[in-house]
Amino acid sequence: MDAVELTRQLVRFETVNPVNPEQGCVEYVGRLLAKNGFDISYHDFAPGRTNLIARIGGSDDRPPLCFTGHLDTVPLGQKEWSMPPFAAEISDGKIYGRGTSDMKSGVAAFVCAVIDIAAELADGPGVVLVITAGEETGCEGAAYLAGLDGVLGKAGAIIVAEPTSNYPYVGHKGALWIKALTEGVTAHGSMPELGVNAIYKASRAITKLEDFDFNIARHPVMGPPTLNVGTVDGGINVNSVPNRAEIGIDIRTIPGQDNDAILEHLSSYLGDDVTLAPVVNLEGVWTSPDDPWMQSVFTLMETILEQPIENKTAAYFTDASILTRAFDFVPTVVLGPGEAAMAHQTDEFCHVSRIEQAVDIYRQLAAQWNKL
């Protein structure tokens, strides 16, 4: 199947996480791969929340190349779309729809690329495709697969088909999302001295968070880790002393940081008035640009993109936070046809030409791996 048409088919499956489970979309891809000689297995981490692992080839001397992507999407948002979000209409060289860039185009491109050379891949180390559910809410599907003994097997390198406009990224920051709770004692708003105000405790914590210092050197490419207070919620009515408040904290970490150590440090820094609970806990990903395989990716991409390749990293997290570690820290590149700026946006789109280009890139990378 043509990758552009496959992208359109995948977008027509409504896989909004967590409202619309991914099962139907994943099984559609699985049937296509099975028909072309791939061994497939499905792994559900919850009803309808289906992951797919597909393999072809195999070698005792060399592990396969891994391609990975997810098929869940974020909700449509409150702003009205000018294009139908699940029709996958093409206009002015762009496919419009939720998931076009993030990241059904990437999955479609690598699926079609490896099908194109399936016979060749069957006679070498081959490839393993890890297609996940639940990425958008913290890589739930990938984490489930990593926790299943022996299911993932081995891989020698990973290509993550997240949106990069087909530019190779050598990693991304980690994500530590935290729910910070403060508790008080409720009382009538006219007699606050009889209560303990949880919002006051939260406000003191927020002031301290603004001055929090990670005390770590900047990463040469990713820069420093960051902390942002994104949400504050507390109280049930204006004339009561609030007995509970909640702060949402978004920390983006750099490679070399330990998220659990950060959580412990932050808990000590904020003191006993604040209870911390991690919501998303994903480590950063980094492959040295000097890695031989990464250099081979750069060489290919310089030819295809007709420009020198600089060391860049993604702003978002990916399933590589889980899979790179599960595959024993193999070299990992983030490289996909979608537009990162369109991810999660109203009227999301992906350029048709990028998808076609990605198929060629993935086909060449898989063929090169098979011949090494």
Residue-range domains of the chain with CATH: 3-172+284-371 (3.40.630.10), 174-282 (3.30.70.360)
Q: What is the token pair recorded at 242?
A: 């609030």
Q: What share of the chain is helix, strand, coil (3-state, %, to 5)?
A: 35, 25, 40
Q: Are 100 and 7 in contact (CB under 8 A)?
A: yes
Residue-wise pLDDT for 13-37, tens only, equals: 999 999 999 999 999 999 999 999 9
* Whether the Cβ atoms of residue 11 and residue 100 lie closer than 8 Å to each other: yes
Mean pLDDT of 274-278: 98
Taking the alpha carbons of 229, 284, 336, 11 in that order, is the dihedral positive or negative? negative
CA angle 83, 86, 87 (to 5 degrees): 70
pTM, to two decimals:
0.94
In the predicted structure, residue 1 carries a pLDDT above the cut 80: no
The least confident of 56-60, 142-146, 301-305, 355-359 is: 56-60
C-alpha closest to that of 200 among 248, 266, 245: 245
Mean pLDDT, range 67-76, rounded to an integer:
98
Residue 45: other Cβ atoms inside 10 A: 18
Task: Give percent of the chain above pLDDT 70.
Answer: 100
Return the H-helix or E-strand segment holding 300.
helix 292-305
Burial of 290 per CB tally in 10 Å (0-12, 13-18, 19+)? exposed
